[in-house]
């Protein structure tokens, strides 16, 4: 979910004397999984007192621009002490340059990113950039995974219990990401 600051303010927040590490979570519509990932990661960062070290956002490859987070995502997050705010936004090419770490929620998003931006948008780096710049979020807890194991399940139009499972999967990967970025 987009930060409430204007885009120019947000991009400035990644530069400056102490450059903040930019982390962007990308799902399909930016209403279920990526807002959860953004909220979870913000929560974990706050728990460690690292708010000034990170600029965190989320976007969608086919965003429902301006939509609030999905009601079940909000509910599951709230039960876990996390508040989701903001509105959905479309991934834009500039995001690929503005954020140091771009975490994709599934292979559909990965394919759409390739369609939207093409390989030249990322330079010579493949989507599974060994430096971790653009990668599937699930690779953090399942580095050797293949196929569907690389996807964070999209629970849209499923009961709230499916959102609980997605929350747990995203949480584990966000903890692994924060550990990796702070060690």
Q: Which helix H or strand E contains 180, and what residues bound it?
A: helix 160-182
Given a cut of 80, is residue 3 above it in pLDDT? no
Q: Model's pTM, two decimal places?
A: 0.85
Q: Which residues are catalytic?
A: 27, 33, 154
The conformation of residue 90, written as its DSSP 8-state character, comes to: B
Query: CA dist 128 to 32, 110, 125, 166, Å?
Result: 23, 10, 8, 22
Confidence of residue 13 (pLDDT cuts 50, 70, 90): very low
Q: What is the mean pLDDT of residues 168-174?
A: 98
Q: Could you read off the pLDDT of 99-157 as tens digits, one per residue?
A: 999 999 999 999 998 877 665 544 444 444 444 588 999 999 999 999 999 999 999 99
Domains of the chain: 7-182 (3.40.50.2300)
Q: Which residue has the tokens 């998003």?
A: 109
* Nearest to 91, CA basis, from 125, 120, 115, 72: 115
Given a cut of 60, is residue 30 above it in pLDDT? yes
Given a cut of 80, is residue 84 above it in pLDDT? yes
């Amino acid at each position: 979910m987009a930060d409430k600051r204007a885009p120019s303010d947000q991009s400035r927040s990644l530069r400056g004397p102490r450059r903040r590490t930019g982390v962007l979570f990308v799902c399909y519509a930016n209403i279920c999984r990526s807002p959860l990932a953004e909220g979870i990661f913000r929560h974990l960062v706050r728990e460690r007192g690292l708010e000034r070290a990170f600029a965190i956002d989320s976007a969608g490859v086919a965003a429902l621009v301006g939509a609030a987070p999905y009601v079940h995502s909000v509910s599951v997050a709230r039960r876990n002490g996390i508040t989701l705010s903001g509105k959905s936004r479309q991934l834009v090419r500039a995001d690929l340059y503005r954020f140091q770490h771009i975490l994709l929620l599934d292979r559909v998003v990965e394919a759409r990113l390739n369609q939207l931006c093409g390989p030249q948008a990322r330079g010579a780096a493949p989507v599974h950039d060994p430096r971790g710049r653009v990668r599937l979020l699930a690779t953090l807890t399942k580095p050797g995974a293949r196929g569907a194991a690389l996807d964070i399940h999209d629970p849209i139009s499923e009961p709230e219990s499916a959102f609980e499972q997605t929350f747990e999967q995203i949480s584990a990967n966000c903890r692994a990401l924060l550990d990796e970025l702070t060690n």
